[in-house]
Amino acid sequence: MQARDIMSSPVVTVTPEMTVKYAANLLSAHGFTALPVLGGDGGLVGVVTEADLVRDRFPRDARYRAGPDERPAAPPSGTVGGVMTTPAVGMDAGTDVVDLVRVLLEDRIRSMPIVDGAHVVGVVTRRDLVRALARDDTVISADVRHQLSIYGGPRRWTVEVHDGAVEVVDAFDDETDRHVATVLAQAVPGVTAVRVTGTTG
In the sheet with 119-125, reading across from the earlier edge strand, the strands are 91-92, 111-116, 119-125
Q: Are residues 44 and 104 in the same domain?
A: yes
State how many domains the chain has.
Answer: 2
- Global pTM value: 0.73
Distance between CA atoms of residues 1 and 132, nearest Å: 10
In a domain, 175, yes or no: yes
DSSP state of 120: E
pLDDT tens-place string over residues 70-123? 665 566 678 999 999 998 889 999 999 999 999 999 998 889 999 998 889 999
Q: Are residues 21 and 93 in the same domain?
A: yes
pLDDT band per the 50, 70, 90 thresholds, residue 54: confident
Q: Are residues 151 and 113 in the same domain?
A: no
- Domain hosting 120: range is 3-64+78-133
DSSP state of 90: -
pLDDT tens-place string over residues 146-200? 999 988 887 889 999 999 999 999 888 788 999 999 999 999 999 999 999 987 7
DSSP state of 35: E
Q: What is the CATH number of the domain that holds 172?
A: 3.30.70.2210
In a domain, 69, yes or no: no
